[in-house]
Copies of this chain bind each other. A is one copy, B any other.
Amino acid sequence: MRLDRVIEALLFAADTPVSADALARAIGCPIYEVEEKLENYGARLRDTSALQLVRIAGGYQLCTKPEYSEVLSRFLAPQNTRLSRAVLEVLAVVAYRQPVTLAEIEQVRGVDSTYGVHALLDRRLVREVGRKKTPGKPHLYGTTQQFLHVFKLDDLTQLPPLELSLSQDVGDGIPSEQGAFLLE
């Protein structure tokens, strides 16, 4: 059985980012060999396929090439391709403030955020990461691997730095700490 084919099968079926290390362990071969095959496989896809191999969240994953996004977004249900602005805003707050409670999210946004948090939990972009040791022991939320995947981040340090504040400095126009969070 050819090693590159085995890797292809594993990447296809896993549908989450898989590290070269995990692949090597599953197959039982040295990691450098896996890395070499991954490189070849990625190169082969570049010329012969609608798929591409991307490095994401510390691993490798198959996804479609960007030039197909238009036909794909027509094909897939619209609700699968789009997050509403309110939901994106909640996501941004969670991404930058994690671990964060619902009350804290609402404090930043100034509006009820129950729906947003639920929508994000449903889409697995956000998960419960524990409980805060304050009265009521509210849930704490954080982002998931899926979040890194959807926004093509290798890890959380790749989030753009927070430089502007939208809520705190309305009106003064001076860039401060929060605004960029709305980006992704």
A49 within 8 A of B: yes
CB interface residues, A 39-82, toward B, < 8 Å:
49-51, 62, 64-65, 67-68, 71-72, 74-76
Q: Contacting chain B: which of A6-14, A119-127, A144-152, A157-165?
A: A6-14
Who on chain B is nearest to A79 by CB? Answer: B13
Who on chain B is nearest to A65 by CB? Answer: B9
Q: Which residues of B contact A8 (CB under 8 A)?
A: 49-51
Q: How big is the A interface, by class?
A: 20 to 34
Q: Out of B27, B51, B71, B76, which one reaches A6, CB within 8 Å?
A: B71
Question: When each residue 1-24 of chain A gets 1 if its CB lies under 8 Å from chain B and 0 otherwise, what string results?
Answer: 100011011101111000000100
| Chain A interface, DSSP helix/strand/loop, else mixed | helix
User: How distant is A149 from chain B, measured CB to nearest CB, in Å?
Assistant: 14
- Whether A64 lies near B1 (C-beta < 8 A) is no
With A5-B49, A6-B50, A50-B6 in contact, do A12 and B71 touch (Cβ < 8 Å)?
no
Q: Out of B9, B22, B26, B68, which one reaches A51, CB within 8 Å?
A: B9
- Whether A10 lies near B62 (C-beta < 8 A) is no
With A1-B67, A67-B1 in contact, do A9 and B50 touch (Cβ < 8 Å)?
yes
Question: When each residue 95-123 of chain A gets 1 if its CB lies under 8 Å from chain B and 0 otherwise, what string results?
Answer: 00000000000000000000000000000
Interface centre among A6, A13, A74, A76 (most CB of B within 10 A): A13
Who on chain B is nearest to A23 by CB? Answer: B75
Residues of A bordering B, CB below 8 Å: 1, 5-6, 8-10, 12-15, 22, 26-27, 49-51, 62, 64-65, 67-68, 71-72, 74-76
3 smallest CB-CB distances across A and B, nearest first, come from A9-B50, A9-B68, A5-B50
Known A9-B72, A12-B50, A13-B76; 18 more pairs at CB < 8 Å: A1-B67, A1-B68, A1-B71, A8-B50, A9-B51, A9-B64, A9-B65, A9-B71, A10-B68, A10-B71, A10-B75, A12-B64, A13-B64, A13-B75, A15-B15, A22-B75, A26-B74, A27-B71
